Chain A
Amino acid sequence: MINNRLKLILLAGFSLLQLVAFGQSPVEMADNFRGEGKIYVVVMVILTLLAGIFWTLFRFDRKLKELEKEIESKK
């Protein structure tokens, strides 16, 4: 009887330990970097680059359309 109770307590104890281990995950992530808000800088830089690329693509689109019209009219 006591044996069973001891088993139960041990089981609960070890299960709790697991939770603790899960809580303070040993895997290193860039939590500090995020906490300091520097991640916003990274994302802003990448978004700026993307915006530039999209703008250039739209400009190519427009240029090609103009060329198409020009060639069409010369036919």
Chain B
Amino acid sequence: MKYLLNSKSWKWVSIGLLTYTVIGGFFLPVPRLPILNETIRILHFHVPMWFGMIIMFAISFVYAVKYLSTKELKYDLYAKEMVSVGIMFGMLGIFSGMVWANFTWGEPWSNDPKQNASAIALLMYFALLILRGSLNDDHQKARITSVYNIFAFAILIPLLFVLPRMTDSLHPGNGGNPGFNAYDLDSNLRIVFYPAVLGWTLLGLWIATLKIKLSMLQMILDDK
């Protein structure tokens, strides 16, 4: 985290990867599939939102544990800002998914298990922010939200990775099949998709570091 807060070079990596994502994502050949048609390119923009969200929540989880073991308020701050950027990614994922689903599945919300599960996941993390906001004492706030965060992350994993796979889903790779089968066949998608995930995640981290710096300044001002 110290490196992320103080260094600038990784931001250029994010810029480079996202520029490549847009250029490669629109120009490189993609598989010609019925129903999806040209919209398969949304893969490079919609799916990285979820990857980003999960990575942000995972980092947040790590800092929640770190806070509980060290009782240093800055770790709680990292955890909180990571959650808020994760929620931003999740909301973007849901809304971009709804636009895409309206075209391919015929309606924006078809109660697909993965749609429902991700909505529940987001609600859990909304509750975390509300819980935080309702407490006044800094250490009490940090302790309770850290514990909540750990439980929320523990539920997030089965919610997104296990439960949708146990039933039929409109999402590819669900209903008994592991992750990426549908895309694994096509290396044209992969050479853009993985850089896209990294680029969007780094952009999320960038926003998170800005928020963290801002809250740290706020904390210094409040102490005075």
Residues in chain A within 8 A of chain B (CB atoms):
25-30, 39, 42-43, 46-47, 50, 54, 57-58, 60-61, 64, 67-68, 71
Contacts and interface: CB of A to CB of B under 8 A. Distances in A.
A27 B217 contact: no
Interface in B63-94: none
The 6 closest A-B pairs by CB, nearest first: A27-B32, A64-B213, A30-B38, A25-B32, A43-B26, A46-B22
A57 to B, nearest CB: 6
> Could you tell me the dominant secondary structure of chain B's interface residues?
helix
Contacts of B23: 43, 47
Contact of A42 (B18, B26, B33): B26
A19 to B, nearest CB: 15
Nearest to B221: A71
B16 to A, nearest CB: 11
16 contacts: A25-B32, A27-B34, A29-B37, A29-B38, A30-B37, A39-B26, A42-B26, A43-B23, A47-B22, A50-B19, A54-B15, A60-B210, A61-B11, A64-B210, A71-B217, A71-B221
A42 B27 CA distance: 11
Interface residues of B, number: 22
Given A39-B26, A64-B217, A27 B206 contact: no
A57 B206 contact: yes
Given A60-B210, A61-B210, A50 B18 contact: yes
Interface in B92-110: none
B214 interface: yes
Given A27-B37, A29-B38, A47-B19, A57 B210 contact: yes
Interface string B1-24: 000000010010001001100110
B135 interface: no
Contacts of A28: 37
B13 to A, nearest CB: 12
Contacts of B217: 64, 67-68, 71
A50 B26 CA distance: 15
A18 B207 CA distance: 51
B220 interface: yes
B92 to A, nearest CB: 13
